[in-house]
Amino acid sequence: MGFVPLGRPVVISLFELITMNVAIDIVSDLVCPWCFIGKSRLASAVELIKEKHPEVRFQFNWLPYFLNPDTPTAGEPYRAFLEAKFGGAKQVDQLQRNVADAGRDTGIDFDFARIVTRPNTLRAHRLIYRAQSTGHRPSEIEALVERLFVAHFQRGENIGDIATLANIAAECGDRKDDVIDYLESNEGTQPVKSLVAKVGEMGVTGVPFFIIQRRLAVSGAQTGVVLAAAIMQAMQSPT
């Protein structure tokens, strides 16, 4: 797979390389199974880099995307949606087997049978936006994103529901009442929609999509080795 360069690469010294801070923008939707897999593979890529260059620090920025922007606010029946989209039960069964196999290879056990509702993910994206824009620690943001994926794909929880999202946020160190107040308002809605629009203007038409150092992009849930190679390439590009 070829990477999409957003700048002209140059060679830098080893000292410069191992002391860099690496920023990665991750475009994803929380109902996309390949985004969950991509998140896990990115973690593997980070570990590969740190094995050789432990001084490198990573900063992740999660950007929203809507796989199905027409999803009703209350969500819709999960299985029926998939069968209508992909042409029937057999096609959906095969797709889910393929995803489950890929997930097991990265340590993720999907439990599609537990998913009842395909949620509208605007509220979940707003929750991530709130965490990132109000100074939550990177570890808290990481825990929140992971927990949202787990909620949908492993626990069958409705991540479009305010009460469910508030409980998840509280598990990750936030104040439940504050989250409920936030989600019951329109706060964060327009910024999230604006980010979705900007991502579209960049030409992103599928997720996951990784933008490394704002100069190199990788599309799809590539392996940890491929992502690590892309990160190394971006680290050798001019600042």
Q: Provide the CATH number for the domain around residue 225.
A: 3.40.30.10
The reply to whether 71 and 182 lie within a common domain is yes
Q: How far is CA 195 from CA 183, 189, 199, 201, 204, in A?
A: 18, 10, 6, 10, 12
Residue 197 lies in a domain: yes
The reply to whether 209 and 130 lie within a common domain is no
The reply to whether 212 and 191 lie within a common domain is no
The reply to whether 233 and 161 lie within a common domain is no
* Residue 19: both structure tokens together: 């002391």
Q: What is the pLDDT of residue 135?
A: 87
CB 68 within 8 A of CB 59: no
**87-97 tens-digit pLDDT:** 999 999 999 99
d(C-alpha 15, C-alpha 12), whole Å: 8
d(C-alpha 118, C-alpha 40), whole Å: 22
Residues 6 or more apart whose CB falls under 8 angstroms from that of 113 comprise: none
pLDDT at 11 over 60: no
Q: What is the pLDDT of residue 20?
A: 80
Q: How many domains does the chain have?
A: 2
More confidently predicted of 43 and 3? 43
The reply to whether 134 and 167 lie within a common domain is yes
Give the domain extent around 22: 1-65+205-239
The reply to whether 155 and 175 lie within a common domain is yes
CB 22 within 8 A of CB 236: no
The reply to whether 218 and 190 lie within a common domain is no
